[in-house]
Amino acid sequence: MDSIRTALRRTSDERGMTLIEVVVAVVILGLLSTLSLSLYMTSMNASSTHKNRELAITVANESMEIVSGWSPTAKIATTSLSTLFAGRTAAAVAAQWAAAPANSGLEQTYPTWDTTGASAPELPLSSISTFNGTKFLAQTFIGTCFQPVSGGDCKKLAGQATAPSVAPGGYSSMVRATVVVTWTAGDCDSGHCWYKASTLLDLNSDLDWVTHD
């Protein structure tokens, strides 16, 4: 009789241990599955962010190629301004620059526009490209800066809030084109992603070169 009780007790104990082991195994598998899913999602988000940035670079480069392919020395018929500014009205340019993203790098560039008030800009102020359901807004800012003939950065003149019509002595008037691409999909600061490219174009007819910031 005692042997039967001992056998039953042993069987009961063995069953209890087996149940505990199963529960522990299920918990461990659940934790591993959750961790694996978390790592997978992180990897997917990183991949998506990287892919969107590559697409933004492509969009920016395409916009910059259009600007770089323009002849900066060609003039608007009724003014001395470069045709780069043709159709860019004062109101449109002011609104565009006022709403520019904080990281646009426009602090050392004078906004410039077409004083003839043409109806449609030859170089669009903005364009939208869509890839895989994500919209990329490319804004093209075109302004003026002044570069010392002796060398140095092209920037605004000290103490002058607006650009002079003629470059002062010792300076050369340049056009700075900045393309800022923004999109919202991906892991970015405050849900706002951006990429910027900038180019300098020389307006002097005796030179024909382009430098990139």
Strand segments (E) across the chain: 110-111, 126-131, 134-148, 171-183, 193-202, 210-212
Domain-by-domain residue ranges, the chain? 42-212
- What pLDDT, in 10s, does the model give residues 174-199? 999 999 999 987 667 666 788 999 99
pTM > 0.85: no
Q: How far is CA 119 from the centre of its chain?
A: 28
* Token pair recorded at residue 19: 């149940």
- What pLDDT, in 10s, does the model give residues 65-113? 999 888 777 888 877 788 899 999 999 999 999 999 888 889 999 999 9
**Calpha distance 170→136 (Å, rounded):** 40
**pLDDT score at 190:** 62
